[in-house]
Homo-oligomer: A and B are copies of this chain.
């Protein structure tokens, strides 16, 4: 899968929902397009308006590690150094708003709060990877998605099996088998390939331990 960094879709002007001020336009990134690359100079912060973004890094042996999925309302782009340690890519066509050059007249209190959110998200994923078995990690992943999407019955999977695998630290075949396990045990139902219905939320949550 090659990232086509050429495609940059149209931008839309609008009001920033939080500040209420006239704000930078929304940029639409098509599926599998790069927002910034590993090694790029640190730039502004980004707010996801809709769609999904993945943060990833590539190891020396060519494996890809996805360190986060960001959805509407999430802010990304924080870096401790002068260059990005990870790249950011649109998963499914995402609308991104540039918050402001990092040099920023943004109130630093709000900046700090968003950075702490990023920290909390990252630590949450550390806990997710702490799950011993592949089935448990998949259950925790679905449960997390369900909570973030605010629907306790239907979960949408905007990303491919391959992405889920690189996020959960397993192969895409194992992702498939883990879903099958949850299906066979009556915990979920696969409406389509990307839409999952939670049949037994209690059991799903119980598996996350």
Contacts and interface: CB of A to CB of B under 8 A. Distances in A.
B79 A116 contact: yes
Nearest to A59: B209
A126 B120 CA distance: 13
A80 interface: yes
Interface size classification for chain A: 35 or more
Contacts of A109: 108
Which of A81, A85, A125, A126 gathers the greatest number of chain B CB atoms within 10 Å? Answer: A126
A1 interface: no
10 closest Cβ pairs, A-B complex: A60-B209, A61-B209, A65-B130, A80-B120, A108-B108, A80-B116, A122-B122, A115-B115, A119-B119, A67-B126
12 contacts: A63-B130, A67-B123, A80-B117, A80-B120, A81-B120, A85-B120, A108-B109, A112-B112, A115-B116, A119-B122, A122-B123, A129-B169
